[in-house]
Structure 1
């Protein structure tokens, strides 16, 4: 599969009616469904059943991180569905940006993993209303070029601050992932309890990493290109980066086996309170992405677990094991879960990270 890119993978994965639409150039953007999302999730392989039913794709617009998305929507930007992660859902809900979901209208809702849907305050609020459909889950973890980084250097996340890797490192231009990394590096697994002293330690670590940073990546396409082109040898990245590079036969791996572990997150979809489009099409989309076919693509090509446990059970066990999801207990061992942060702490992180990136 040498030279296979995500875009060519998308084309190969399309079938049936969707492939016919693509071949004919007939797919348009549906103005009745606007999705505010991370770049890359416009990939048609995630929602073929939506296209089959509605004849066109949703309209996608993108954000770089969830804080940017939050501020934009709070300032009046209109969309129907959004794609936040575990650390942001409560904040978005409490700010009045969301409306509850009618789970009876989402095909396969009862097949979602109860270990995920039951996470405290993530999906369901105390009044029993459901605000969030968990969809993908995975890690932020140490990702490296196997030909440039020796195995003995991979024992600790502190490798990212090792001067020998100056100008060969990349970390996300994303406050949550950066401070998840820093929290792990100082031995902290619950960042919601971070003290002032630990905040200083974490920030100091990020300053040391900054000395080695070649680029702060903003989306997975950027880090995949940087590592694939040899610009970067070490990164703090999502599962998708290694998965995509391996499809291109680039010698890149990701490891969960550092002394400090990894960060784990759950992302999914929410319905905006002032959604201007078609509610029926919003639920069509949520149902379309909650299928075994989509779960297989998400795991095989992006390296992420799907929150639909029944769908995950249909995937070849060899693929599940290869991607690291065969033993969930091991998957979440030595992990910092990106749970919602206290508002004052999050604001401190945002302000400090801007200083760090500016070299202060």
Structure 2
């Protein structure tokens, strides 16, 4: 994602922000919400307090602030941003030997392009989630969400929504037009995906900006179905709303991946940086993260929670293709971003 422009809002929607002491030798640049002490309790036990957190709204903002001279020690980004950040020179590799859970990171999620595609580990996966069709189970028949064609179905005109996010939008469009690996998309496949988004545009109530917004629209009945992150149905179900989450559409669904990068000019403690990311991977952190809609990239810790817990969080097994929102070339991301802006403007 710059995957999610409002990840922090998703967490705030599910859990009030806690208050806690801060350890001043490590500055974490992050989405609001990830300061939750339950996500890094082993760090607190070792250092007596949490790191210092500074928040950003989206990764483009974070990137520009860092280029302008802001200094952090570690920064939370999603996989799609990795090539640009690496090329800029503002991040440096992690030492694999200091990552306690390195051997049990989920290789099917991180893939060669993120985890082991080069000799250096520039991106350390920590959290992931799924994107699929969230829908009002009382008003939308199951057969209508068996396919992503619900987004072009005129019967739902004005009652649909997709994210105001280029990565999520194109993940949906590529899946709907038969592409499950966007890194290999041809010019023709890109044009087909863009044409599909143009068709969908006229059917939408809006492009949702953050999970709280789309959850409210669904709870009010204004939106009957949406392309949404798994934390949305988790939150709606907690409120007693009759929400369904269809990850097994005929065309497939998508997964996104985020993690931390090690800042080249960080002025804090390198030892604390490793303590922090290791705490994020710790088994004790897995359940608190899952309850907020996030799967840990430490597969051993994740699987220890059991299939029922994963299914309830929208991260269970699927039987259809998955499009992994892994890094794209800067050229391809820019082309998609430009097209998406034109589509949203009605062109």
Name the TM tier (shorter chain). Answer: 0.7 to 0.9
- Select which of 140, 143, 152 maps to 1:161: 152
| Equivalent in the alignment of 2:48 | 54
- Select which of 113, 119, 122 maps to 1:121: 113
In structure 1, what is the Cα distance between the partners aligned to 2:24 and 2:70? 15
Tell me how many residue pairs correspond in the alignment: 337
What is the CA-CA distance between 1:176 and the residue it aligns to? Answer: 0.8
- Select which of 314, 320, 323 maps to 1:336: 323
| Equivalent in the alignment of 1:251 | 242
What is the CA-CA distance between 1:10 and the residue it aligns to? Answer: 4.5
Cα distance change, pair 269–6 in 1 and its aligned pair in 2 (3 A): closer
In structure 2, what is the Cα distance between the partners aligned to 1:109 and 1:224? 35
Post-superposition CA distance 1:215-234 (Å, at most 9, x none) = 32233233233323434221
Deviates most, 148-157 or 216-225:
216-225
In structure 1, what is the Cα distance between the partners aligned to 2:201 and 2:321? 25
In structure 1, what is the Cα distance between the partners aligned to 2:199 and 2:336? 16
Cα distance change, pair 131–145 in 1 and its aligned pair in 2 (3 A): same
- Select which of 291, 306, 315 maps to 2:296: 306
Alignment of 1:352 with 2:339, yes or no, is yes
- On the 8 A contact 2:109/2:324 being kept in 1, the answer is no
Cα distance change, pair 149–351 in 1 and its aligned pair in 2 (3 A): same
Alignment of 1:316 with 2:306, yes or no, is yes
What is the CA-CA distance between 1:181 and the residue it aligns to? Answer: 0.7
Cα distance change, pair 305–7 in 1 and its aligned pair in 2 (3 A): closer
Cα distance change, pair 60–116 in 1 and its aligned pair in 2 (3 A): same
In structure 2, what is the Cα distance between the partners aligned to 1:259 and 1:324? 17
- On the 8 A contact 1:10/1:45 being kept in 2, the answer is no
In structure 1, what is the Cα distance between the partners aligned to 2:30 and 2:212? 14
| Equivalent in the alignment of 1:19 | none
In structure 2, what is the Cα distance between the partners aligned to 1:40 and 1:222? 17
Alignment of 1:148 with 2:139, yes or no, is yes
TM-score by structure 1 length?
0.82
| Equivalent in the alignment of 1:40 | 33
- On the 8 A contact 2:96/2:102 being kept in 1, the answer is yes
What are the residue-to-residue correspondences of 1:125-274 with 2, within 5 Å? 125-126=117-118, 128-274=119-265
Deviates most, 137-146 or 156-165:
156-165
Structure 1 portions without partners, runs of 5+: 15-21
- On the 8 A contact 2:146/2:246 being kept in 1, the answer is no
In structure 1, what is the Cα distance between the partners aligned to 2:44 and 2:217? 33
Deviates most, 54-63 or 186-195:
54-63
- Select which of 92, 97, 116 maps to 1:99: 92
Cα distance change, pair 84–7 in 1 and its aligned pair in 2 (3 A): closer
Structure 2 portions without partners, runs of 5+: 1-9
| Equivalent in the alignment of 2:66 | 73
Cα distance change, pair 284–235 in 1 and its aligned pair in 2 (3 A): same
In structure 1, what is the Cα distance between the partners aligned to 2:105 and 2:179? 30
Post-superposition CA distance 1:103-129 (Å, at most 9, x none) = 343343333234445x21312353x32
- On the 8 A contact 1:47/1:288 being kept in 2, the answer is yes
- Select which of 105, 110, 120 maps to 1:112: 105
- On the 8 A contact 1:10/1:43 being kept in 2, the answer is no
| Equivalent in the alignment of 2:7 | none
